Structure 1
Amino acid sequence: MESTLGDLAAAQGGLFTTAQAARSGIKDFALARLRAGGVIFGVARGVYAMADTVPDDVVAVHAMKVRAALLLYPDARPCGGSLAVIHGHPVWGLDLDRVDLVRDGLSHEVLTQLCRIRPSDALTRPDTADRDAALAACVVQVALDHGPTAAVVTADRLMHDRVVDAQQIAQIVDRLATRPFAGRAQALVTLMDGRSESVGESRLRILLVTNGVAVTPQVPVLENGRIIARADLGVDGTNQLIEFDGKVKYGGADPEVLWREKKREDRIRRQDYRVERVVWSHLDRPKILMARLLREIGAASPRNTEPHPTTKAG
């Protein structure tokens, strides 16, 4: 029985439905026994996964829920944050409890325990086979649903990887002027910048910019006319650099990694730069972090930071 279900799940993204199990001769009472025994896991009503394949990561669980929803609603397609997740693009700040789907022919939004099913929308939920166009629209939908910071995190990576460009997103936003929450989408256009290379860098940059600090991502550091490093952020007009250390997440890092980072930082400092380091846990206390950064910036010296890139990537 277990091998039958395992083969069934393996053939369709790790999932199977009760109807498919029944066609294999495995009825509801048998599924209930397997679930009670920890062999299978209920992803949604009528959809199961083999328990040993269920991921721990909340984003990966959401991707599993998206696949489950598409088994239940094969005529639907993912939209908003769910579309970004299913394509493997980074997300942050999203409510991942429900899957966002779009179905043609609906006149209003429908909520189920698993899904938020929405009607088509030419701008934010277009019916298109063009993946890149759909992803540009999905970023705008994320802004409307979850706010600009959540959308910028995803937009930055899509722009950095040249999946979408800033113009694609801006053109959609320009046509949303009269929509509810259009200001969120307009803030997305102002804040997005494809030069940032990680979720943490994007969040740190947004925190600084929204607090009135002008910064440039990926500042080149020169030694004898040669680039020896690129700092995550440079405070414009000063010698203050800010580095986001994504390797240190709520705990320690490999001592060898820390040693290499120290040597790199020492080399940067010898070029008359100040360096302030931020780690994941600091982002959870933005008020304290911002006070510290403003103190450091206040102690920085003026510096002509040209030549820096002056246009946003993407």
Structure 2
Amino acid sequence: MTDDVIFRRRALADGVTDSEIRHARNSGRLVRVATGAYVSDEYFAGLDAPALHRVRIAAALQSRPPGVVVSHASAALLHGMDLGDISLERVHLTRNHASGGGRTSGVHVHATPFDADEVVTLGGLPVTAPARTVVDAARISTFDQAVVLGDSALHRRLVTTQEILDAVGRAGPRKGIATARRAAGFLDGRSESPGESLSRIRIRRHGLPSPELQHVLRDGSGAFLGRVDFFWAGSGVVGEFDGMGKYGVDGSQAAVAVHREKLREDAIRDAGYEVVRWTWRDLFDFATVKARYERACARSGHRR
């Protein structure tokens, strides 16, 4: 990663002048990605938001003294956790002190003590360990964001629920710990996507019964029907979140996948179950999903 970043300090030490750097920037051959850090225009063109943030992480560490570690959402990105709609506007770093933090337009340095076992190395960079990362990110996020990130950490087996709870306990009365504690008690690694995590939150907020997650359905003869996102056994209702990309990106492949999914749903209905589906848009108006669920319960031959 750092091989693709040109740091002003190193360039000057190698004999490049500020005038040459300015000329390269003015001509468009160099793009500034952080204070004193540049990449080529070709390299910059190939960077999506997460990749650009990784470059900015490397640049931010170069200008800090030893002992500063990548943390919060920046650490979550490096661990491969789902960030949902958490902003990547700033790089988050933590220094092992009780004071002395600060922020600029591009970097937020947190001043929070940490133990040696709360830091790991990823790609040569010092990064807060998964449990500490989940809790730190949750403390400065909304409940929805904290659950999306924490669920993904559990689903990817980067951390255990107990490790997260222990990290919450070690954090003490830090700012935002109430949100982290509440999220930690709600996390479930069986959620396989941000949409499924948000669906669980909406289900609870709208007073629906708690469903079984990733439930395997079989017909009367024991034949496999499918594994469903949500299942309300008492009412015989299946819930499915239809996220973007669920059916592939290629047109012909998508058509085949949609047809296969229809046959799967037909088999589930033939076995006596009702199916309720919802999309990303429905997550912002979940009352409509609740109404669908209630109508499905009324149609179902199972006892509610």
The RMSD of aligned alpha carbons is 2.8
Residue 83 in structure 1 maps to residue 79 in structure 2: no
Counterpart residue number, 1:116: 108
Structure 1 stretches lacking a partner, 5+ long = 1-9, 306-314
Counterpart residue number, 2:213: 217
Query: Contact 2:95/2:113 (CA < 8 Å) preserved in 1?
Result: no
Structure 2 stretches lacking a partner, 5+ long = none
Residue 14 in structure 1 maps to residue 4 in structure 2: yes
Please state how far the C-alpha of 1:275 moved relative to its aligned partner: 1.7
Query: Contact 1:143/1:150 (CA < 8 Å) preserved in 2?
Result: yes
Which secondary structure state, in structure 1, belongs to the residue aligned with residue 213 of structure 2? strand
Which secondary structure state, in structure 2, belongs to the residue aligned with residue 217 of structure 1? strand
Counterpart residue number, 2:235: 238
TM alignment of 1:114-153, pairs within 5 A:
114-122=106-114, 127-129=118-120, 134-153=129-148
| Count of matched residue positions in the alignment of Structure 1 and Structure 2 | 289
Counterpart residue number, 2:267: 267
Residue 166 in structure 1 maps to residue 161 in structure 2: yes
Identity of aligned residues (%): 28
- 1:199 and 1:38 map into 2 onto residues whose CA distance is 38
Please state how far the C-alpha of 1:140 moved relative to its aligned partner: 0.8
Q: Structure 1 residues 97 and 302 mapped into 2: Cα distance closer, same or farther (>3 Å)?
A: farther
Counterpart residue number, 1:5: none
- 1:57 and 1:236 map into 2 onto residues whose CA distance is 42
Q: Structure 1 residues 183 and 292 mapped into 2: Cα distance closer, same or farther (>3 Å)?
A: same
Query: Contact 2:98/2:113 (CA < 8 Å) preserved in 1?
Result: no
Q: Structure 1 residues 47 and 265 mapped into 2: Cα distance closer, same or farther (>3 Å)?
A: same
Query: Contact 2:212/2:230 (CA < 8 Å) preserved in 1?
Result: yes
Q: Structure 1 residues 269 and 60 mapped into 2: Cα distance closer, same or farther (>3 Å)?
A: farther
- 2:183 and 2:143 map into 1 onto residues whose CA distance is 5
TM alignment of 1:165-314, pairs within 5 A:
165-176=160-171, 178-213=173-208, 214-223=210-219, 224-235=221-232, 237-248=234-245, 254-283=254-283, 286-287=284-285, 290-299=286-295, 300=297, 301=300, 303=302
Which secondary structure state, in structure 1, belongs to the residue aligned with residue 215 of structure 2? strand
Please state how far the C-alpha of 1:176 moved relative to its aligned partner: 4.7
Query: Contact 1:248/1:280 (CA < 8 Å) preserved in 2?
Result: no
Which secondary structure state, in structure 1, belongs to the residue aligned with residue 185 of structure 2? helix
- 1:59 alignment partner, one of 23, 46, 50: 50
Letter in 1 for 2:23: R
Please state how far the C-alpha of 1:113 moved relative to its aligned partner: 2.6
Moved more, 87-96 or 170-179: 170-179
- 1:113 and 1:133 map into 2 onto residues whose CA distance is 22
State the TM-score, normalized to the length of structure 2. 0.84
- 1:126 and 1:115 map into 2 onto residues whose CA distance is 24
- 1:247 and 1:24 map into 2 onto residues whose CA distance is 48
Letter in 2 for 1:211: H
Counterpart residue number, 1:72: 63
- 1:231 and 1:101 map into 2 onto residues whose CA distance is 39
Query: Contact 1:196/1:217 (CA < 8 Å) preserved in 2?
Result: yes
Following TM superposition, the consecutive aligned residue runs of length 4 or more in structure 1 with deviations greater than 4 angstroms are 130-133, 302-305
Query: Contact 2:150/2:184 (CA < 8 Å) preserved in 1?
Result: no
- 1:107 alignment partner, one of 86, 99, 112: 99
Letter in 2 for 1:117: V
- 2:18 alignment partner, one of 28, 41, 45: 28
- 1:234 and 1:152 map into 2 onto residues whose CA distance is 20
Letter in 2 for 1:152: V
Q: Structure 1 residues 37 and 244 mapped into 2: Cα distance closer, same or farther (>3 Å)?
A: farther
Q: Structure 1 residues 18 and 122 mapped into 2: Cα distance closer, same or farther (>3 Å)?
A: closer
Which secondary structure state, in structure 2, belongs to the residue aligned with residue 146 of structure 1? coil
- 1:262 and 1:203 map into 2 onto residues whose CA distance is 24
